[in-house]
A and B are shown apart, each in its own frame.
Chain A
Amino acid sequence: MQNLSIRRLLNNKIVWLYIFSGGLLLCTGLLGLFLSSVTVPVPTILHIVLEKIVGMGWLQEVPKNEEMIIWNIRLPRVVLAFCVGASLALAGAAFQGLLRNPLADPYTIGVSSGASLGAVLVLFFQVSIIGLGSFTLPVVAIISGLITLIVVFGLVQLSSRSLAIETIILAGIIVSSFIGALVSLIISLGDKDVMTQIIYWLYGSVGMRGWEYVQLIIPFMVIGTIILFYHYRELNALALGEDAADHIGVNVKKGKAFILVGASLLTGAAVAVSGSIGFVGLVVPHLVRLVIGPNHRHVLPLSLLTGGTFLILADLLSRTIIAPKELPIGVVTALIGAPVFAFLLIRERMGGRG
């Protein structure tokens, strides 16, 4: 009897956490649409969003410029911030689980450096592929991210048949540092303008991107998310070590390969559209684990929601603190993330989980 009620309570707690995270996401999103230099009333915002998405507006007249600001500038920015934050946090949770290393983050594996290299090359040569125009940069970044994934994979395969974890980490580090050196080389060769542009891009930003970028990241995000959600049990099993996972019937090699590909797709796409935004992928999964425990069944979806919320909030701060100028979003993520993380860590130490 007692056990049953405890479990019901816990189930409730989990349900409430999902509701809370979802609600927080909606509120933050709305806040992101509301707060800016031009103030649009909340009902108008809701009207515009609903009208555009499901054709269910109730207001008769909405000023054209307000519609422009909300639909073409702010909403894509908020949605993109959500997508990037969600992808990075989800990828981070998966990498930490896969590599059984709390220090792993989406950038450990080197795919993000590859995407950065593609973007930096585009900026350096100022090229634009015919038919893509300004869209050249993210496309090239994604492609070079995927090429890097193949290189890392090849390196791991050649040196360890079983995709040993140490080898994955080492291959990631080798590839990242090599590509990092290339990026530095390019920066040092460029003139001052290009240099500034590159460095700003590397800081990361979700502003001034428009719906095209959202369209670009969404397919990768959906595929990556499905792959990872499907493999949550393998991630749990891998916590016991690979041998023990094998003993309970997990196809360890296949599982690892899928998780690696899923998480890399998410990371590569996120970096391609926004630059390398740090801290989200490292810290959000830890925050989620502190609250809900390590079971990936809940860690993955909650990391996705929380990561998205977190980045919308970080973006909001980055553009309002010293408006009209903007702070690099990566600076903000670390500035908010680190103290929150420290606080939770201390609280955990004092009071235990839950």
Chain B
Amino acid sequence: MIKIENLVGGYTNSPILTDVNLEIHRGEFFALLGPNGSGKTTLFKMITGQLPIQSGNILLSGKEISSYSKLEKAKKVAVLTQEIQVSFDYTVEEIISLGRYPHQKGMLKSLSKEDHYIIEEVMDITKISNFRKTQFRKLSGGEKQRVLLAKALAQEPELLLLDEPTNHLDIKHTFQLLDLLKERQLSKGLTIFSILHDLNVASLYADRFALLHNGTFIEVGDVELLRKEEQLQKVYQVKVNAQSHPTVPKPQLLMTPNYTKIKDKINFTDSYEMTQYENLTHIQFAEPLRTISNGAFGDGIQWLKHFCIASDENLLKKYGIPYEQVGCMASTDNIMVTQNSHMMAVVGEEKGSFNILLFIDGHFSDGELVNGFMALTEGKMQALKNLSMNSTDTQLLAATQQGRKVSAGEIREFVFNVTTEAISRYLQMI
């Protein structure tokens, strides 16, 4: 669709872009990434012809882009930028009909039947038919952007250039707009070339990516480009962690701010409060802990502050424990607490099965957390095996993320001892 070869250009004196090569295929959604000032908009302006090309070529459908007349180009390429100011009180429909400009023929240049048909169609797609007679300036930001998209689509372009189209939209309108575009790409084979600021949004919508830095491409490739933490860190100078989206097989980036809260090291044994209610044991820490759990609440890997063992989840509400910040498991009030200098275990027993909450004063990466969880299970199973019992219940491991690392062996041993003791108490009881 569009091919850029050895492109150099920008503002007159010093070129902003140097040696840019890129090919965008028909029907793909291509995202141009890069920090402010890296030359993204310059590249766009060179494609639209607002800035001169100093050397190199831009080919549109195999033809030099400067050989197109303005009208011919407008039939192939439409542009949607950040919100624009419209002078005078034009209505939505009047704005959209401007998109038919390159297609109008004849001396009178009035709107033909076909023009009207297409205007109706794009208003339907972008869901703005209802306010066709409304003045543009009275619309909200998200609606305005949809109107401008409709205008761009009314040009019936093959290529749509988007310059940060969702810049000041909230997430609702951002996703609405991009869903519309994606739909159009998939159903009509529209080629989309977009500058996007939000890397996570780009990851979800674009097919291919280019990372621009100081006027040259660092990398052009598929979504895996967004997993290269070091490269992104170098370009954006922000600490990023690539993670996977929980339901879509795409990476999502988590940014870590440069400022850090200065924390005094907390004495583990003083850092929590344990309260026993009827049928509920509540443990509250001053700071959130990194947890891994398969419990009823707070499963997976999270940051949690409240932990409890309760026979009924409605009890949480009764005692005012926040649902969203709790790691919880079901058990009776048969509770045993064991503690040493850096580990604390709470074991709840119910009909011969044992639920364990294990709190550790130590630092764990996510991988180490999984290892720790496995060690917990192993320790517990070993204790149960020695006593020829069987239990497949829930457990939780929580770490303070301060101090030293705690080895799997330590955990296994501690849990083994704790479980053994809990079993023997249980056996005494029955």
A residues bordering B, Cβ < 8 Å? 3, 6, 97, 100-102, 233, 236-237, 239-241, 243-244, 246-251, 289, 293-295, 297, 353
B98 touches which of A101, A102, A237, A246 (Cβ 8 Å): A237
Is A247 within 8 A of B89, CB to CB? no
In this assembly, does B70 line the interface, its C-beta being within 8 Å of a C-beta of chain A? yes
In this assembly, does B102 line the interface, its C-beta being within 8 Å of a C-beta of chain A? yes
In this assembly, does B248 line the interface, its C-beta being within 8 Å of a C-beta of chain A? no
Is B73 within 8 A of A249, CB to CB? yes
Taking A241-B84, A244-B81, A295-B94 as contacts, is the C-beta distance between A251 and B109 under 8 angstroms?
no
Q: Once the chains are docked, how many angstroms separate the CA of A247 from the CA of B101?
A: 10
Apart from the given pairs A244-B84, A247-B79, A297-B110, 6 other A-B contacts in the complex at a CB distance below 8 Å: A233-B104, A236-B98, A240-B95, A246-B70, A247-B74, A293-B91
A240 touches which of B73, B84, B129 (Cβ 8 Å): B84
Closest chain A residue, CB of each to CB of B90: A294
Is B85 within 8 A of A294, CB to CB? no
In this assembly, does B252 line the interface, its C-beta being within 8 Å of a C-beta of chain A? no
Interfacial chain A residues near B94, Cβ < 8 Å: 236, 293-295
**Least Cβ distance of A101 to chain B in Å?**
8
Taking A240-B84, A241-B85 as contacts, is the C-beta distance between A249 and B75 under 8 angstroms?
yes
Is B87 within 8 A of A237, CB to CB? no
Q: Once the chains are docked, how many angstroms separate the CA of A295 from the CA of B78?
A: 22
Is B50 within 8 A of A246, CB to CB? yes
In this assembly, does B155 line the interface, its C-beta being within 8 Å of a C-beta of chain A? yes
21 pairs from A and B in contact (CB 8 Å cutoff): A6-B133, A100-B87, A101-B87, A233-B101, A239-B86, A239-B88, A240-B86, A240-B95, A241-B84, A241-B86, A244-B79, A248-B74, A248-B98, A248-B101, A248-B102, A248-B151, A289-B89, A293-B89, A293-B91, A294-B94, A353-B89
Q: Once the chains are docked, how many angstroms separate the CA of A307 from the CA of B421?
A: 101
Is B109 within 8 A of A233, CB to CB? yes
Is B70 within 8 A of A251, CB to CB? yes
Q: Number of B interface residues, CB 8 Å?
A: 33
**Least Cβ distance of B11 to chain A in Å?**
13
**Least Cβ distance of A245 to chain B in Å?**
8
In this assembly, does B135 line the interface, its C-beta being within 8 Å of a C-beta of chain A? yes
**Least Cβ distance of A159 to chain B in Å?**
16
Is A247 within 8 A of B48, CB to CB? yes
Interfacial chain A residues near B90, Cβ < 8 Å: 236, 239, 293-295
Q: Once the chains are docked, how many angstroms separate the CA of A289 from the CA of B88?
A: 9
Interfacial chain B residues near A244, Cβ < 8 Å: 79, 81, 84
Find the residue from B81, B87, B94, B155 having the highest chain A CB count within 10 A. B87
Interfacial chain B residues near A250, Cβ < 8 Å: 70, 101
Within 8 A of A (CB), among B90-141: 90-91, 94-95, 98-99, 101-102, 104, 109-110, 129, 133, 135
Is B86 within 8 A of A248, CB to CB? no
Q: Once the chains are docked, how many angstroms separate the CA of A199 from the CA of B98?
A: 46
Q: Once the chains are docked, how many angstroms separate the CA of A287 from the CA of B351?
A: 87
Interfacial chain A residues near B135, Cβ < 8 Å: 353
In this assembly, does B71 line the interface, its C-beta being within 8 Å of a C-beta of chain A? yes
Q: Once the chains are docked, how many angstroms separate the CA of A346 from the CA of B67?
A: 51
Interfacial chain B residues near A240, Cβ < 8 Å: 84, 86, 95, 98
Interfacial chain A residues near B98, Cβ < 8 Å: 233, 236-237, 240, 248
Q: Once the chains are docked, how many angstroms separate the CA of A97 from the CA of B109?
A: 19
Interfacial chain B residues near A294, Cβ < 8 Å: 88-90, 94
Interfacial chain B residues near A353, Cβ < 8 Å: 89, 135
Is A248 within 8 A of B89, CB to CB? no
Interfacial chain A residues near B75, Cβ < 8 Å: 249
Closest chain A residue, CB of each to CB of B48: A247
Q: Once the chains are docked, how many angstroms separate the CA of A241 from the CA of B98?
A: 12
Interfacial chain A residues near B155, Cβ < 8 Å: 248-249
Find the residue from A102, A247, A294 having the highest chain B CB count within 10 A. A247
Interfacial chain B residues near A295, Cβ < 8 Å: 90, 94
**Least Cβ distance of A249 to chain B in Å?**
3
Is B86 within 8 A of A249, CB to CB? no
Closest chain A residue, CB of each to CB of B109: A233
B71 touches which of A101, A102, A249, A293 (Cβ 8 Å): A249
Within 8 A of A (CB), among B38-89: 48-50, 70-71, 73-75, 78-79, 81, 84-89
Closest chain B residue, CB of each to CB of A96: B88
Closest chain B residue, CB of each to CB of A249: B74
Q: Once the chains are docked, how many angstroms separate the CA of A62 from the CA of B104?
A: 53
Interfacial chain A residues near B73, Cβ < 8 Å: 249
Find the residue from A101, A102, A240 having the highest chain B CB count within 10 A. A240
Closest chain B residue, CB of each to CB of A353: B89
Interfacial chain B residues near A97, Cβ < 8 Å: 88
Q: Once the chains are docked, how many angstroms separate the CA of A353 from the CA of B136?
A: 13
Closest chain B residue, CB of each to CB of A162: B50
Q: Once the chains are docked, how many angstroms separate the CA of A244 from the CA of B144?
A: 14
Q: Once the chains are docked, how many angstroms separate the CA of A289 from the CA of B94?
A: 14
Q: Once the chains are docked, how many angstroms separate the CA of A6 from the CA of B131?
A: 13
Is B50 within 8 A of A237, CB to CB? no
**Least Cβ distance of A294 to chain B in Å?**
4
Q: Once the chains are docked, how many angstroms separate the CA of A250 from the CA of B99?
A: 11
